[in-house]
Structure 1
Amino acid sequence: MREEIDWVTVAEGVEVYLEDTGPREARPLLVLHGGPGGSSYALREGIGDLLEDYRVLYLDQRGGGRSPALPERPEFFTLDALVDDLRSLRRHLGLPEWTLLGHGFGGLLALEYARRWPESTRGLVLVNPWTNFPWLAAQLYRASLALRGLEEVEVPIPEDGAALLEEAFAHLEPKVVFDRLLFPSARSRMEYEWVVEGSVVVGSDAPGRMLVLNGLWRFDYTPYLLDLKVPPQVILGTLDHSSYPEAEVVADLTGGRLELVEGAGHYPWVDQPQTFAEALRSALEG
């Protein structure tokens, strides 16, 4: 299989790591990993075999994964900057249009790219996207209560989730709390971590820290969905408490298509591989 690895300049002083794979003449598909600050490695390992008919572009977003580190300054890590990188990348590759496949935080980038440049968005596929960060903060707070053996209570969605997170993470490591939301079982967590640890890719937490300084936990993308002209194909694992059921609104407000994967968490290809493969195939065809 064709594979070209490159570091692409997308802005002044900013390069990103890119794996350009598959038939060059095939339909281009940009894969956007979660995070912030993650890597596309786990997505390629997890779903790459399902995408053999496409020209798949695996990007490590700026400052994360195998992309060069950037100064830890908030202006380098804004949603605008991350999305502008995608436009620069498409122009560098000479592609008139592409399909975007975003997972988790990457789903937010895919949505915003499609909202700004619908003319170059042939398709939009979202897997367990994160779009409402105050809601996610409330979920993390409730998870921290459960992990400490305290009664889980309904938490009003705050305007700014930072205070809830400070309380949640004062008692527990953030990863432990996130894992409570993302994985339906210890087996699926270990299977995913085995893939990630085998990559020897050391992710950076700088993008996440800088986005927090930029107000990430106050950000709710929901109002912007009304401007979207590309109906998304949304795939949700029903046991992913970091996006389900909140992300159903993405399909509801845009006229998009929703596919639920029962028994799956944030990484549905790990928990329900056959069902997810069918859902992804249908979404890409749609």
Structure 2
Amino acid sequence: MSFSFARMSQTTTLFNWLAKPIQANSVRQHSRPHRIILLLTAVLSIITPAYAAEGMADGIYYQTFGEGKPVLIINGGPGLDSEGFATVAKAIAAEGFQTILFDQRGTGRSPLPSIDNRTVSMDLMVADMEKIRKKLKLKQWTILGHSFGGMLAAHYASQHPAQVEKLVFSSSGGLDLDFVADIQPRINQKLSIKQQAEMKAYQLKQAAGDKSAATNEKRVNILAQAYVLDQSKAHLVAARLKVVNMQLNQLVFADMARIKFDHKQSFATFQQPVLVLQGDQDIISIDTAKKTQNSFPNAQLEILKDCAHYGWLDQPDQYYRALFTFLKA
């Protein structure tokens, strides 16, 4: 998940507090960062595995894998396509499910004629998901949202509860925007003093107008190390952080601020099973995960030991065991 909030000193991507401040004053109320790249994105492999089928639903690109009960996977960002999630999709499909990936509007193979607050919003993304469901003629589906994807999953479920069989929050952002203030301090805890200073220097360069790929690459190479405990996988995270569409990212978070995104009270009567998967070393706090769990009547929380923001990278056995047990129950 990558967050980028308004004028954050620009550090994170799952929460890539990036440089230019957002124009909307309303976004500032939730802490200076508002460009959160909730990278909530999946970063798994540089080569995209072959897909089983693909299609378009009114301009939104999707892929399907396998056969069985449908599971929609929502990647993080916002501002990132589904590149890198095929490994997760295929792993779930191998257990007897039909998995579905899609490129969120304005990303990857779902281009928009223009990108602005008329074409980018949480409600429009929910409508896109409904178009995919109807195109595939599905009555219900399970939804797995990673990072920012969990926030979008909650927004969808609040509007279309009858279409949701189960919900999975994978290292998800919160059900409101309060958690954002904790992201930068938690990232700093995972970086050395030297790394923090170097990253700050690159952020200042970008804030001053440096748009070079070299400066951005140096910054994200440091930042990515906060997202995984297994540093041999950090380059996979960095590869995704480099390509975030910050215009989209900022528009989505500005929209969430505008609508006062808050679903803590939206699910009092939501009886479907919910799984909250969270690493004990994630840049998103366990308290955030607990608040999500407590907002649903029928939710369970699984804490993954020695795990940061990407469970399938740091602790694949723990991650998939908990996920498959829940999906098959």
- 1:156 maps to none
Q: Deviations over 1:24-79 (max 9, x none)?
A: xx111111111102122212124522332111111111111322134121122211
Alpha-carbon contact 1:47-1:269 (below 8 Å) kept: no
Residue 189 in structure 1 maps to residue 234 in structure 2: yes
TM-superposed CA distance for 1:234, in Å, is 1.0
Say what the alpha-carbon RMSD is for the aligned residues: 3.4
- 2:254 maps to 213
- 2:317 maps to 274
CA distance change for structure 1 residues 147 and 281 in 2, over 3 Å: closer, same or farther? closer
Alpha-carbon contact 1:63-1:206 (below 8 Å) kept: no
CA distance change for structure 1 residues 265 and 143 in 2, over 3 Å: closer, same or farther? closer
| Paired residues for 1:121-200 under 5 Å | 121-131=164-174, 132-141=176-185, 143-144=187-188, 149=193, 170=204, 175=220, 179=224, 181-193=226-238
Q: Distance in 2 between matches of 1:273 and 1:190?
A: 17
Q: Which runs of 5+ in 2 are unaligned?
A: 1-49, 207-215
Residue 8 in structure 1 maps to residue 53 in structure 2: no
Q: Distance in 1 between matches of 2:189 and 2:276?
A: 30
TM-superposed CA distance for 1:146, in Å, is 7.6
- 2:76 maps to 34
Alpha-carbon contact 1:136-1:243 (below 8 Å) kept: no
Aligned to 2:193, the other structure's residue is in SS state coil
Aligned length: 261
CA distance change for structure 1 residues 145 and 266 in 2, over 3 Å: closer, same or farther? closer
Q: Distance in 2 between matches of 1:3 and 1:141?
A: 42
CA distance change for structure 1 residues 142 and 8 in 2, over 3 Å: closer, same or farther? same
2:93 is matched with which residue: 51, 57, 69? 51
**What TM-score do you get using the length of structure 1 for normalisation?**
0.78
CA distance change for structure 1 residues 32 and 235 in 2, over 3 Å: closer, same or farther? same
- 2:21 maps to none
Alpha-carbon contact 1:225-1:250 (below 8 Å) kept: no
Alpha-carbon contact 1:103-1:127 (below 8 Å) kept: yes
1:17 is matched with which residue: 37, 61, 81? 61
Alpha-carbon contact 2:70-2:99 (below 8 Å) kept: yes
CA distance change for structure 1 residues 273 and 102 in 2, over 3 Å: closer, same or farther? same
The structure that is helix-richer by fraction is 1
Q: Distance in 2 between matches of 1:148 and 1:272?
A: 23
Aligned partner letter, 2:228: F
Alpha-carbon contact 1:107-1:129 (below 8 Å) kept: yes
**What TM-score do you get using the length of structure 2 for normalisation?**
0.68
Alpha-carbon contact 1:30-1:99 (below 8 Å) kept: yes
Q: Distance in 1 between matches of 2:165 and 2:113?
A: 31
TM-superposed CA distance for 1:189, in Å, is 1.3
Aligned partner letter, 1:189: A
Q: Deviations over 1:171-228 (max 9, x none)?
A: 786746853542224223125457x59xxx9653332021233354974443434464
Alpha-carbon contact 1:61-1:82 (below 8 Å) kept: yes
Q: Deviations over 1:142-163 (max 9, x none)?
A: 635885839x9xxxxxxxxxxx
Q: Distance in 2 between matches of 1:257 and 1:226?
A: 15
Aligned to 2:277, the other structure's residue is in SS state strand
Aligned partner letter, 2:316: P
Q: Which runs of 5+ in 1 are unaligned?
A: 10-14, 153-165
Q: Distance in 2 between matches of 1:191 and 1:73?
A: 29
Q: Distance in 1 between matches of 2:247 and 2:162?
A: 32
Q: Distance in 2 between matches of 1:180 and 1:220?
A: 30
Q: Distance in 2 between matches of 1:206 and 1:16?
A: 19
Identity of aligned residues (%): 23
